[in-house]
């Protein structure tokens, strides 16, 4: 089969002329067509698109309005918005208190989660008369924003908005034992001013290592007079008790529609669906729970959680969040004291119908479920709770005592500190010690803060254990000044989680929180790990991973561990595992400080000083990465000071230069902390 033959009667010249003529006509036609289309597009396109543009904009406006706090404030007559960046619920609680305060000054406030709104709308807040934005911002980890404030933080970093019409104030929640004390509060305060906003009251810095509640009250009692002066308003009266939720008791309810401990979706524990997170935790089965220590009064434990088929992924250094349950005996005692049937099914419905937060916890549910899974009944209640409860004390002396502790007077603050905080009185202890105080249980449930997830450094590597997450923890148990035995909620709950027995399995609601605590990218980079007590947890994962990398034929750098415990024969955690890793050559140095096995106490920092020459060599020549995990208040600070000394001595630097050197290591990700207080 060939090409079709040409007519032999057409000469070559004729053929060429015919083609030229044909191409000319085609060209003219194409050019005319293109010109016509272009002319049509140029003159008529805009009109065609502009007409539907308006309805398009209007149709898009609805979802935008849902995320616009400005529209919500206008609709509900609010002029103060209090945003909160909260990881444990305290900043949210402070934000709610400030928003409720506003009514005393003829103003109306609303607390707002920045994750739910478009914060670029801050530039429009001046559209509302006497408007003010307050930010209660907690700092998480090593100077990081809380999960719900991450988007706001990112926006602030990138924004070039003009906020010249915005009036603001910031209260930060931090802990002085951490390197980056109140970093988030300081950054928000500074950045808003840089964008042109007007600060109407100075930055407040709350310290959880001291007395966070007192710091907040002190700032708050000076903040409101500054607001009054700025807007020319006056307090309309005394602080009063205003219920935020109304009680609805369900006498005839379908139990399939009642929450039984789920954090988000109803029946989510019966019908598990990934992805799993804070609002949708995975129910992991406990496959191992063994005691790690051989003696002593404490109970140190190793737990393994099965995450098979969950699609949960984790890396060494991440944290596992666990949702615990309160001790049933404490719950029952509260029910008995208040004479309540704890199995009553009820809902607490927000009286503000426009609020995004319809209930203080998942509803409908029973009082028993609320007190067991949703409410914090073991921590000392804050002053606002005492103030609200005071009205229910029938004894005048008890009522006066409660009001005094909730006041901003010096005497009241001192009484609250000694009688509540230092005595570690929880709500049950207060009810027991004040016989006339018998509040309605629904109001108590409204006032108590949410029970929060507990975070643990993961003690395993996903390279070795892809289907399980390991936890290393010590049970918290202590006697208070009143002679009561207080127990840590999560650790005692976990202690009783035994692997499957008689066909019954122990389940733990959990999810993984990503961390910046990471092994170096290059396995050949040396690592120096310092983790006394349960601070060893992430390093078990690190060492497992280094062993796995070595098995894969990778070149693995020096792996050095500084570990500490009280007694060699009592609480030397993971002793056999560490010995095996050392024997296999994965753990190149194992330095253990037994603090109480001799007259003079020996801690990890003493061993660092003892090996200072080797430490400096690894740091300076080997470009080693340093990791510190454990107590922030003393250990982490002492270890850091030891590094200052080593750097100063061997690097021939002054003290300020050595401090700057270590700070730069932190900035470069070569000195990482995973600490708690």
Residue range 630-655, pLDDT digits in tens: 998 899 999 999 999 999 999 999 99
457 part of the active site: yes
Q: Answer whether 677's CB lies under 8 Å from 518's CB.
A: no
Band of pLDDT at residue 239, cut at 50, 70 and 90: low
* Residue of 215, 442, 571, 674 with catalytic role: 674
Average pLDDT across the chain, whole number: 89
**Among candidates 424, 480, 381, which has minimal Cα distance to 97?**
381
Task: Provide mean pLDDT across the span 120-129.
Answer: 95
User: Residue 338 in 3-state DSSP?
Assistant: coil
Q: Is the pLDDT of residue 56 over 50?
A: no
Residue 315's CB is within 10 A of a number of other CB atoms, namely 17
* 182-226 pLDDT per residue, tens: 999 999 999 999 999 999 999 999 999 888 999 999 999 999 999
User: For 511-531, what is the mean pLDDT?
Assistant: 96
CA dihedral 385, 390, 391, 394 (to 10 degrees): 140
Over residues 450-467, the pLDDT tens digits come to: 999 999 999 999 999 999
> Residue 87 in 3-state DSSP?
coil
Q: Dihedral sign, CA of 77, 79, 82, 83?
A: positive
CA-to-CA distance for 425 and 447, rounded, in angstroms?
16
Instruction: Please tell me what DSSP assigns to residue 315.
Output: -
pLDDT at 34 over 70: no
Model pLDDT, residue 500: 80
Q: What are φ and ψ of residue 296, in 5° steps?
A: 85, 170
Phi-psi map region of 261: left, alpha, beta (phi>0 left; psi -120 to 50 alpha): left
Q: Answer whether residue 411 shows pLDDT above 90.
A: yes
Q: What's the rounded Cα separation, in Å, for the pair 451 and 373?
A: 7
pLDDT score for 633:
87
Cβ distance 325 to 373 under 8 Å?
Answer: yes
Catalytic residue among 99, 457, 468, 672: 457
In terms of DSSP bridges, do strands 559-565 and 527-530 run parallel, antiparallel, or are they unpaired?
Answer: parallel
More confident residue, 159 or 52: 159
Residue 8 is predicted with a pLDDT of 34
The verdict on whether 629 is a catalytic residue reads: yes
Which of 58, 131, 62, 73 shows the shortest CA–CA distance to 356? Answer: 73
- Interhelix angle 150-158/183-194, nearest 10 degrees: 40
pLDDT for res 134: 98
629, 631, 648, 672: the active-site residue: 629
CA 426: distance to chain centroid? 24
* Average pLDDT of span 397-422: 95
Distance of CA 497 to the CA centre of its chain: 25
H helix runs in 515-654, sequence order? 537-551, 575-583, 604-610, 612-620, 635-650
Mean pLDDT value across residues 429-433 = 98
In this predicted structure, what is the pLDDT of residue 35?
Answer: 55
| 237 has pLDDT over 60 | yes
Q: Is the pLDDT of residue 502 over 80?
A: no
**391: buried, middle or exposed (CB in 10 Å: 19+, 13-18, 0-12)?**
middle
What are the Cα distances from residue 386, in Å, to 136, 255, 398, 426, 448? 22, 34, 11, 11, 10
Q: Does the annotation mark 5 as catalytic?
A: no
- Residue 52: pLDDT over 70: no
CA distance readout (Å), 137 to 47, 165, 267: 48, 21, 33
**Is 363 part of the annotated catalytic residue set?**
no
Coil, strand or helix at 207: strand
Has residue 254 got a pLDDT over 50? yes
72 pLDDT higher than 50: yes
């Amino acid at each position: 089969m060939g090409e079709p033959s040409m007519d032999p009667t057409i000469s070559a010249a004729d053929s060429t002329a015919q083609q030229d003529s044909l191409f000319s006509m085609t060209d003219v036609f194409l050019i005319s067509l293109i010109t016509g289309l272009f002319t049509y597009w140029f003159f008529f396109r805009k009109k065609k698109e502009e007409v539907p543009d308006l309805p398009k904009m209007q149709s898009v406006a609805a979802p935008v309005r849902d995320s616009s706090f400005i529209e919500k404030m206008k609709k509900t007559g609010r002029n103060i918005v209090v945003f909160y960046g909260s990881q444990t619920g305290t900043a949210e609680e402070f934000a709610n208190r400030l928003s409720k305060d506003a009514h005393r000054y003829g103003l109306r406030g609303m607390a707002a989660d920045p994750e739910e709104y478009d914060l670029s709308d801050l530039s429009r807040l001046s559209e509302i008369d006497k408007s003010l934005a307050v930010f209660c911002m907690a700092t998480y980890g090593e100077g990081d924003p809380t999960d719900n404030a991450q988007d706001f933080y990112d926006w602030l970093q990138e924004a070039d908005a003009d906020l010249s019409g915005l009036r603001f104030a910031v209260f930060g929640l931090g802990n002085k034992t951490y390197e980056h004390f109140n970093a988030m509060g300081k950054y928000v305060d500074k950045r808003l001013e840089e964008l042109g906003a007007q600060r109407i009251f100075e930055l407040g810095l709350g310290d959880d290592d001291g007395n966070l509640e007192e710091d907040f009250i002190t700032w708050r009692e000076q903040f409101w007079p500054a607001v009054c002066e700025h807007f020319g308003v006056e307090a309309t009266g005394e602080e009063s008790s205003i219920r935020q939720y109304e009680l609805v008791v369900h006498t005839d309810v379908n139990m399939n529609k009642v929450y039984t401990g789920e954090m988000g979706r109803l029946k989510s524990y019966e019908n598990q669906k990934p992805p799993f997170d804070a609002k949708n935790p995975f129910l992991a089965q406990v496959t191992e729970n063994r005691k790690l220590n051989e003696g002593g009064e404490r109970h140190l434990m190793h737990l393994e959680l099965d995450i098979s088929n969950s699609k949960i992924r984790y890396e060494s250094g991440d944290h596992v969040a666990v949702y615990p349950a309160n001790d049933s005996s404490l719950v029952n005692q509260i029910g008995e004291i208040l004479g309540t049937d704890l199995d009553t099914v009820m809902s607490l419905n927000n009286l503000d119908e426009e609020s995004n937060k319809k209930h203080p916890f998942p509803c409908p549910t029973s009082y028993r479920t609320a007190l067991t899974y949703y409410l914090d009944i073991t921590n000392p209640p804050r002053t606002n709770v005492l103030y609200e409860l005071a009205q229910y004390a029938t004894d005048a002396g008890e009522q006066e005592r409660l009001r005094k502790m909730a006041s901003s007077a010096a005497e009241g603050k001192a009484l609250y500190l000694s009688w509540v905080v230092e005595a570690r009185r929880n709500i049950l202890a207060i009810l027991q010690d004040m016989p006339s105080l018998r509040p309605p249980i629904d109001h108590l449930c409204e006032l108590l803060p949410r029970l929060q997830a507990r975070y643990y450094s993961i003690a395993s590597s996903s390279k070795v254990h892809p289907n399980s997450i390991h936890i290393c923890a010590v049970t918290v148990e202590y006697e208070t000044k009143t002679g009561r035995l207080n127990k840590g909620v999560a650790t005692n709950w976990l202690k009783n989680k035994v692997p499957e027995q008689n066909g019954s399995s122990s389940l733990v609601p959990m999810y993984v929180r990503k961390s910046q605590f990471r092994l170096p990218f290059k396995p050949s980079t040396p690592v120096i790990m310092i983790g006394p007590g349960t601070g060893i947890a992430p390093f078990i994962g690190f060492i497992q991973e280094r062993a796995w990398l070595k098995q894969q034929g990778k070149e693995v750098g020096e792996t050095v561990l500084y570990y500490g415990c009280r007694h060699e024969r009592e609480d030397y955690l993971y002793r056999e595992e560490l010995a095996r890793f050392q024997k296999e050559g994965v753990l190149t140095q194992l330095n253990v400080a037994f603090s109480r096995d001799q007259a003079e106490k020996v801690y990890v920092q003493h061993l660092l000083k003892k090996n200072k020459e080797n430490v400096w060599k690894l740091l300076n020549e080997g470009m080693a990465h340093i990791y510190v995990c454990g107590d922030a208040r003393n250990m982490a600070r002492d270890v850091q000071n030891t590094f200052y000394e080593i750097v100063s001595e061997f690097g021939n630097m002054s003290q300020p230069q050595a401090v700057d050197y270590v700070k730069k290591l932190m900035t470069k990700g070569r000195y990482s902390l995973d600490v708690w207080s």
